[in-house]
Amino acid sequence: MLLLDEFLALKETLWPHITFYGKQIEIIDSVCRNDETYVPAGNQLGKDFVAGFVAVAAFILCHVKQLQCRIVTTSVAEHHLRVLWGEIGRFMTAAKAPLLKTKDNSQGVYVMNYQEIRLAAEVEARNPYSYLVGRVTDKDEGLAGHHADYTLFVGDEASGLADAAYVAAQGWAKRMLFLGNPNPCENFFRRACRDVAGK
């Protein structure tokens, strides 16, 4: 539904100063082509950076294409999710064209509050048509029911996420992106990485 070329063209339009290295482009491409993408990586390798880009770019591309879009991000704890949302915030504020509607910029079409981005035209809506949100919950119900034309579930620090989070997202997410350090675990993230590695 969304193509790698569209992501890269948007990057050139809004963030021409950013350069992705080969593995980061592979991640973006995988999210475009595959239902589930798993990224086991170490610290300081840019996984939150590319995940922040994927979330923001997908949200903008869906808006441009007039697709209802619901993107949910999660992590094992609030302080971990803040790292991903720091990257999301950076993309929203560092774009070549102003994206956010503020008192000083009435041209922006998005509103960003704490771990939530909506279309400015929908701020008053009780049930927004499209959104990009962050959720940390110890109950899978908080991660369920986000049906839309385009749906993406991003799980950061996935080695610590409960299987229940994965199961809840399977009910609605057409695309899933999981990133984490290869910490000892026995959850869905470990099983998927082990299956890919053939071990």
pLDDT by position in tens, the chain (length 199): 899 999 999 999 999 999 999 999 999 999 999 999 998 876 667 899 999 999 999 999 999 999 999 999 998 888 889 999 999 999 999 999 999 988 776 788 999 999 999 999 888 777 788 999 998 865 566 676 688 899 999 999 888 888 888 888 888 999 999 998 766 666 788 788 766 655 4
3-state secondary structure 129-193: CCEEEECCCCCHHHHCCCCCCEEEEEECCHHHCCHHHHHHHHCCCCEEEEEECCCCCCCHHHHHH
Pairing of strands 110-113, 69-74: unpaired
Homologous superfamily in CATH for domain 4-197: P-loop containing nucleotide triphosphate hydrolases (3.40.50.300)
Return the closest-CA partner of residue 35 out of 194, 148, 155, 176.
176
pLDDT of 133 reads 93
Q: Rounded to 5 degrees, what angle do the CA atoms 143, 160, 60 make?
A: 45
pLDDT of 44 reads 65
Please give the structure tokens belonging to residue 18: 């950013």
pLDDT of 183 reads 66
pLDDT of 139 reads 58
How far is residue 15's CA from residue 95's CA, in Å, rounded to a whole number? 5
